[in-house]
Structure 1
Amino acid sequence: MTVINSRLKALAVAGAGALLVPIGLTAAAPAAQAGSAAEPFGPACSSLPTSGEGSASGMADDPVATAASNNPELSTLVSAVQKAGLADTLNNAENITVFAPTNDAFEKIPKADLDKILNDEAQLKSLLNYHVVGEKVTVDQLPDGTFKTLQGGEITTSGSGQNFTVNDSAKIVCGDLETENATVQLVDTVLMPTS
């Protein structure tokens, strides 16, 4: 009883506003923070708007297709997603990752080839689904990752720090952008499925 009274007196001295947290919960607090989203990384993150719906913080408020539509770096991808009728599917999916080709990535494809893909609904859906993984993939999984895509194929990631490559060809230029339902990794090259 003396020990308990001594502890109560010590708490009273600490002040009436002192926060009482059970010792078991204080040890768990850092672990809870460890699972929080990573900060966006990569050289192209600086080209995103600093405020508004197209900014990193603005994208977090919307589902992925809507968030992408507000990002000026993704207008070609958004047009392709709308043409393929996949916007609602992406917006309603949960815990996915989109390896999102930037406008510059699409410009690397010869116009005739890109037009052919855009006008073939089955090929376009296959291509777009190849850029989507059915789980959240963040920077800690990128150094040596293999992920199954919604198209059925696999993509691989490698690298370290802030320098990551997808399928040994595309670079992640701005990674770990969070949306309401997805993680977005902006890539500088359109990923081509092998199957």
Structure 2
Amino acid sequence: MGGFTGLVATTLPVLVLVPVNSAYGLQPALLAALAVAVVVLLWRLARKESLQPAISGFIGVAFCAAIAWFMGDAKGYFVYGIWYSLILGIALVVSIVVRWPLVGVIWRGINGEDQRWRTNREAVRGYSIATAAWAVLFLARFAVQQWLYLQDSTEALGYTRIAMGWPLTILAVLVTVWAVRKANRAEEGSQEGPEVTRYEQFSDQP
């Protein structure tokens, strides 16, 4: 939702946190991560871009830093993201099971459209595929990062978060674009069907 700069706003603090923590300890690492989040915020402000992604990113970094400070361990910075991935992954799976795939609900909601697509089986299947791609992404993140968290591998956890961030997100976006187009074509076809039928019936009359 935050675009390229949104990804940057969430990735740079992690890139700073891990090496600074290894070299200087927890408190300097958390301060460095917060400082990077502030720089990103000021950069977007100077460019007169939307501040929502940067503000959200800063709040997220501050919240994660607070957890790490409270736990007294840098790996605490990743706790929120790990469990957020699990909760969101489960929510996505449940939405598919109840035939309200979240990608379809969100996509139509963003575009101010109704939810009549749920009456079209092919459209539901297309949005379910897109939703499943995101479910796999988030559940995979949880499984791998939670394992590293339990192994106390803070450095590996940081780099894995980045590695499972951009590449998997790009892959999920590509699947989503394909599936959403498939769903839209299916719905457009169902809307055109009755008109064609009425035309053919009319043309057959003497």
TM-score under structure 1 length normalisation:
0.26
More helix by share: 2
More strand by share: 1
TM-score under structure 2 length normalisation:
0.25
More relative contact order in 1 or in 2 (CA 8 Å, sep 6+)?
A: 1
